[in-house]
Copies of this chain bind each other. A is one copy, B any other.
Amino acid sequence: MQVAEAYAELIRRTKETALLGSCAGVLGWDERVNLPPAGGEFRGEQMALIARMTHEMSTDPFIGEALSTVEASKPDGDMAVNVRELRRGYDRAVKLPKALVEELARVTIRAQQAWQEARQADDFAGFQPWLEKVVTLKREEAQAVGYKEHPYNALLDEYEPGTTAADVKQIFAGLTKELVPLIEAIKNSPRRPKTEILHREYPVDLQKIFGTAAAAAIGFDFGAGRLDTTTHPFCSGIGPGDCRITTRYNPKFFNESFFGILHEAGHGIYEQGLDPDHFGTPPGAFCSLGIHESQSRLWENQVGRGPAFWQHFLPRARQVFLTALRDVSFDDFYFAINDVKPSFIRVESDEATYNLHIILRFELELDLLAGTLKPGDLPAAWNEKFEKMFHLKVPDNRQGCLQDIHWSMGGLGYFPTYTLGNLYAAQLMEQARKDLGDLDADFTRGEFSRLKGWLNVNVHKPGRRYRAGELCERITGQPLSHAPLIRYLRDKYAPLYGC
């Protein structure tokens, strides 16, 4: 096989597999947005067929042979990127025994049901056998994939290529050291925002209009995307020209849909910024889940919870939510959306304490995968760790170790990407402010295109050409650090809480 020929066919097949996979993207979106109740079983068969076909296509021995041929030619540029990333995916896929993949699919479907019931009934014992099965299977997966140092690395690598548990440990340690005293100082401040403001009447129709306008303003392209309503919000980048985000509305809580929409729109702007010419191949793919999350957090928090953003949007919000916001001052509103308060539920927590929720889960996951923590001992371990970190006693497992769906889905190794997202967001935003000058002046005018353009060029267009850490260093000149996030949080909270 000639190198050029092997490479062309490799890329053709990779794109075709991605194209077929993108059909499952439409089916998955439709399942969550439109599917009639009776259609669930059939949709499962459709999705399973496409999953099987794409798996067969991407593990075809031809892929391995073509990769070897191209690798031997020592390619550079995008060819090298494609070979590196496709090799990574191919090796991982062929190393996993089919029986294990199928068992994982079967077990995690039933484990999710068991988790749902267990959470509702606050019955950890009902979930324990399923958690045991999932942990056992994920440890087998790590063995099959292979790893250095810790089995966690084999799982983390799927979400955050090239990042290891040791990397995460180190950066989380630095973060914890500075974050815990900051949260403590805020806790000890006598100042408290009037959060009642956010729990007034916010009619759903108006939230929809206001949230859509904000998503469009920051740069989500509704000519190439949609916003719909689902129980669990998500972003689905189907392919070039088609990216869909969802949210849920709470008529008695402003934050739920509004910051949710900014968050998903941030993911969406990333997807819309990927290079369509490279669709289906690494140069046209998102870099890592951490970088993906950095884009959602950047728009949601760095921009969307900032004072300049609300200089522009609060007067507009007052015109839309007449009764709720008529008498609310800028200072009161801004303080309310930046309330910091240790609490039990991760998804309801604030920008600062959120990261402690992640660190707790990361540490428990490490022990679960190492086998040093038995799934049956999880509630005790969770509660002890939680009390140490948050100075709060967990009242029940619903508000403790049963709150998240991730482990029942087999998503061990996923949680750290959320805080990596916060860290990358802060470091990228610091750099954008350096490069672009007075961004707050833009935001005050409702102008976000310079920031979006900067992200397009620096973060989105490179795709998966660089690993997350490498991308960060290329853009900011520094490896990922906890310092920018801490600086950002301190700068924000010092004037609010006088700490």
Report A's interface with B, CB cutoff 8 A.
16, 19-20, 22-24, 26-27, 30, 34-43, 45-46, 49-50, 53, 221-226, 238-242, 279
Extra A-B contacts (4), CB below 8 Å, given A30-B30, A39-B239: A19-B45, A19-B49, A34-B226, A38-B221
* Nearest B-chain residue to A39, judged by Cβ: B242
Closest Cβ neighbor of A48 among chain B residues: B19
Contact of A40 among B16, B26, B225, B241 (CB under 8 A): B241
Central interface residue in A24, A224, A242, by most chain B CB within 10 Å: A242
Complex CA gap A225/B42 in Å reads: 13
Give the residues in chain B near A16, CB-CB below 8 Å: 49
Give the CA-CA distance A40 to B49 in the complex, in Å.
24
Decide: A242 near B23, CB < 8 A? Known: A16-B49, A30-B30, A49-B16: no
Is the pair B240, A36 in contact by a Cβ cutoff of 8 Å?
A: no
A42: which of B24, B46, B239 is its contact (CB, 8 Å)? Answer: B239
Tell me the bound Cα distance from A56 to B239 in angstroms. 24
A37 to chain B: closest residue by CB: B223
A41 to B277, CA, bound (A): 13
Query: Considering the chains assembled together, what is the distance between the CA atoms of A35 and B26 in angstroms?
Result: 10
Oligomeric state, in number of copies?
Answer: 2
CB neighbours of A24 from chain B (8 A): 23
Minimum CB–CB distance from A235 to chain B (whole Å) comes to 14
Q: Which residue of B lies closest to A272 (CB)?
A: B38
Note all chain B residues with C-beta closer than 8 A to A222.
36
Residues of B within 8 A of A30 (CB): 26, 30
Q: Are B239 and A36 in contact (CB under 8 A)?
A: no
Return the contact of A223 from the options B36, B41, B242 (Cβ within 8 A): B36
Shortest A351–chain B CB gap in Å is 31
- Choose from B22, B41, B46, B242 the contact partner of A38 (Cβ within 8 Å): B242
Taken together as a complex, chains A and B put the C-alpha atoms of A114 and B43 apart, in Å, by 37
Contact A242 B43 (CB under 8 A): yes
Assess A224 versus B39: contact at CB under 8 Å? Given A19-B45, A20-B49.
yes
Instruction: Evaluate contact between B239 and A46: CB separation under 8 angstroms.
Output: yes
Query: Which B residues touch A23, using CB under 8 A?
Result: 23-24, 27, 46, 49-50
How far is it, in angstroms, between the C-alpha of A329 and the C-alpha of B186 when the chains are bound?
A: 73
Q: How far is it, in angstroms, between the C-alpha of A279 and the C-alpha of B53 when the chains are bound? A: 20
Among A34, A224, A240, the most chain B Cβ lie within 10 Å of the Cβ of A34
Given A23-B50, A30-B30: A226 and B42 within 8 A (CB)? no
* Shortest Cβ gap from A30 to chain B (Å): 6
A52 to B20, CA, bound (A): 11
Ordered by A's residue number, 29 sampled pairs between the chains whose C-beta atoms are within 8 Å are A16-B49, A19-B46, A20-B49, A20-B50, A20-B53, A23-B24, A23-B27, A23-B49, A26-B26, A26-B30, A26-B46, A35-B242, A36-B222, A36-B223, A36-B224, A36-B242, A37-B224, A37-B241, A38-B223, A38-B240, A38-B241, A39-B224, A39-B238, A40-B241, A41-B240, A41-B241, A42-B238, A42-B240, A46-B239
Quote the shortest CB–CB distance from A457 to chain B (angstroms): 20
| Closest 7 pairs between A and B when the two form their complex, measured CB to CB | A39-B242, A38-B241, A38-B224, A39-B241, A42-B239, A42-B240, A38-B223
* Neighbouring B residues of A34 by C-beta, 8 Å: 226
A20 to B241, CA, bound (A): 23
List chain B residues, Cβ under 8 A from A19: 45-46, 49
Residue picked from A35, A240, A241, A279, most chain B C-beta under 10 Å? A241
Q: How far is the CB of A346 from chain B (nearest CB, A)?
A: 31
A46–B27 CB distance below 8 A: no
Q: How far is the CB of A284 from chain B (nearest CB, A)?
A: 12
Enumerate chain B residues within 8 angstroms of A279, measured Cβ to Cβ. 42
**B residues within 8 A CB of A49?**
16, 19-20, 23
Residues of B within 8 A of A223 (CB): 36-38
Q: Whole-angstrom distance between the alpha carbons of A20 and B45 in the complex?
A: 10
Interfacial chain B residues near A22, Cβ < 8 Å: 42, 46
B residues less than 8 Å from A238 (CB atoms): 39, 42
Chain B residues lying within 8 Å of A53, measured Cβ to Cβ, are: 20
In the complex, residue of chain B having the shortest beta-carbon distance to the beta carbon of A43: B242
- For A43, list chain B residues within 8 Å (CB): 242
Q: Taking the nearest CB of chain B, how far is it from the CB of A55, in angstroms?
A: 15
Q: Determine how close the nearest CB of chain B comes to the CB of A56; give it in whole angstroms.
A: 12
Bound: A38/B22 CA distance, A: 16
Least Cβ–Cβ distance between A53 and chain B, in angstroms: 8
Measured between beta carbons, the chain B residues less than 8 angstroms from A240 are 38-39, 41-42
- Residues of B close to A39: CB separation below 8 A: 224, 238-242
Expressed in whole angstroms, the Cα–Cα distance for A26 and B22 within the complex equals: 13
Shortest CB–CB separation between residue A45 and chain B, in angstroms?
6
